[in-house]
């Protein structure tokens, strides 16, 4: 099975793309809605929460886990890959979303001016600047933290006037930098993509993160048959949340745009 982890609902955008482009596999999704957002938490806490999630997904048979959460990818992925996996799970793999999005940003940029919006933890980590510089050192990269957007998405305020007002305030700060490409450095933000594209205008390309990540996963599996051959192909999708399961199901159906029969609750110690 393929595990997909996010701090809340945002990773459903990634799961939806996987179900469209790689429908043959079995998936387990975990949203840590009870402890979202991760963007205002310390690196130690983010690592502890992410490790709990990864081990939860491994215990349910996942061979490969995708950290759909940008904050977890920025703050916890490397340590999980370098410490947790070699010591306890040498036959499992954990991947993030930062590198695929950075690669797509470089490919899309016309004039070498890229913007990144994300949680405070993701922006302050500088992870996108680092990965983009590795790919193209002459790039100009401009980051903008948008700490209010994740709670607004989680509370189903997408499309409301108050959300658009806050979105405009964040985006105008980065729009003034004359960027030609915008990376949505949080998996919650694709829920706001149409509004973001409208505000940024036709001269800025807003990357479709879920499509990018799913395309990169297809490429990864083609290059790693030893992992691909171990993935279940029964097309089962199991959903878990650390918060209210009924609320997650109702919001998840809206975001995934299809019926969700059941969501189970996962219980972690804080």
3-class SS of residue 83: helix
Query: Is 69 an active-site residue?
Result: yes
Helix (H) or strand (E) holding 243: none
Token couple for 216: 């990169």
Closest CA to 74 of 134, 145, 122: 122
Angle at 32 between CA 214 and CA 105, to 5 degrees: 35
* 122 Cβ neighbours under 8 A, 6+ residues apart: 39, 70, 71, 74, 116, 128, 145, 185, 186
Q: What whole-number distance in Å separates Cα of residue 210 and Cα of residue 255? A: 13
Helix 127-135 × helix 98-108 angle, to 10° = 50
Q: What whole-number distance in Å separates Cα of residue 96 and Cα of residue 210? A: 12
Q: What whole-number distance in Å separates Cα of residue 78 and Cα of residue 107? A: 24
Candidate list 62, 146, 186, 204, residue with the active-site label: 186
Query: Is 62 an active-site residue?
Result: no
Look at the chain and count its residues.
270
3-class SS of residue 154: helix
Q: What are phi and psi of 249, to 5 degrees?
A: -60, -45
Q: What are phi and psi of 201, to 5 degrees?
A: 85, 175
Candidate list 62, 69, 146, 204, residue with the active-site label: 69
| Active site residues per annotation | 69, 186
């Amino acid at each position: 099975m393929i595990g997909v982890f996010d701090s809340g609902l945002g990773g459903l955008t990634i799961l939806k793309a996987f179900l469209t482009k790689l429908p043959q596999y079995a998936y387990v999704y975990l949203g840590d809605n009870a402890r979202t957002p991760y963007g205002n938490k310390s690196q130690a806490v983010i690592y502890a929460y992410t490790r709990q999630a990864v081990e939860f997904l491994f215990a349910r048979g996942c061979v490969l886990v995708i950290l759909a959460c940008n904050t977890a990818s920025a703050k916890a992925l490397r340590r999980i890959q370098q410490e947790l996996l070699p010591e306890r799970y040498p036959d499992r793999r954990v991947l993030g979303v930062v590198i695929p999005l950075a690669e797509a940003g470089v490919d899309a940029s016309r004039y070498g001016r890229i913007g990144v919006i994300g949680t405070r933890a993701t922006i302050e980590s500088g992870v996108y600047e680092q990965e983009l510089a590795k790919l193209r050192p002459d790039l100009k990269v401009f980051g903008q933290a948008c700490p209010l957007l994740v709670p607004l998405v989680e509370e189903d305020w997408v499309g409301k006037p108050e959300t658009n007002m806050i979105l405009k305030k964040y985006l105008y700060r980065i729009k003034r930098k004359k960027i030609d490409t915008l990376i949505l450095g949080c998996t919650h933000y694709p829920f706001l993509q149409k509004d973001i594209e409208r505000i940024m205008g036709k001269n800025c390309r807003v990357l479709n993160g879920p499509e990018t990540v799913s395309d990169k996963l297809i490429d990864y599996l083609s290059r790693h048959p030893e992992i691909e051959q171990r993935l279940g192909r029964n097309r089962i999708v199991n959903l878990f949340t650390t918060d209210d399961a009924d609320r997650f199901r109702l919001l998840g159906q809206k975001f995934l745009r299809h019926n969700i029969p059941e969501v189970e609750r996962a219980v972690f110690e804080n």
